[in-house]
């Protein structure tokens, strides 16, 4: 079996199939309203999606990094860390609280 990448007007489908016709059949069975735009056999047995290609880059102000830095500066004091987070990011109290508390749970 080979790994096929099938691009339709609405989806990108990755599927195992014996040949292109079987790969097209998987798409038609699961997405009957889609039109196949492109199909290609992948050269390896795995498929990698680049987060940068999808626009999922982490910017310089990654909320987790900032929250953990604020917790470290506040020496674990939640209220002080929330104030620091608000100052660093410009977020309101509710957003800052959520960011700090979620990172406290993760074990900063």
67, 102: one domain: yes
Has residue 49 been placed in a domain?
A: no
Q: Burial level of 34, CB count in 10 A (0-12/13-18/19+)?
A: middle
| Percent above pLDDT 70 for the chain | 81
Has residue 30 been placed in a domain?
A: yes
Has residue 33 been placed in a domain?
A: yes
Has residue 9 been placed in a domain?
A: yes
Could you tell me the residue range of the domain that residue 75 belongs to?
Answer: 63-106
Tally the domains of the chain. 2
Has residue 50 been placed in a domain?
A: no
In this prediction the pTM is 0.46
Has residue 80 been placed in a domain?
A: yes
Residue-wise DSSP of 23-65: HHHHHHHH-TT--EEEEEE-SSS-----TTTTT----TT-HHH
Has residue 73 been placed in a domain?
A: yes
The answer, yes or no, to whether residue 107 has pLDDT greater than 60, is no
The two structure tokens encoding residue 13: 């489908």
Least confident of 16-20, 41-45, 75-79, 91-95: 41-45
The answer, yes or no, to whether residue 29 has pLDDT greater than 90, is yes
Which pLDDT band, with edges at 50, 70 and 90, does 32 fall under? Answer: very high
Has residue 54 been placed in a domain?
A: no
Q: What is the pLDDT of residues 56-83, one digit of tens each?
A: 555 555 667 888 889 888 887 899 999 9
């Amino acid at each position: 079996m080979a790994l096929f990448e099938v691009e339709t007007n609405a989806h990108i489908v990755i599927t195992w199939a014996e040949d292109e016709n079987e790969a097209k059949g998987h798409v038609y069975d699961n997405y009957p309203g889609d039109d196949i735009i492109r199909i290609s056999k992948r050269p390896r047995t795995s498929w990698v999606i680049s987060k940068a290609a999808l626009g999922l880059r982490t910017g310089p102000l990654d909320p987790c990094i900032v929250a953990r830095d604020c917790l470290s500066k506040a020496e674990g004091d939640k209220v002080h860390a929330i104030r620091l987070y608000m100052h660093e990011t410009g977020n309101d109290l509710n957003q800052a609280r959520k960011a700090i508390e979620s990172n406290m749970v993760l074990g900063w």
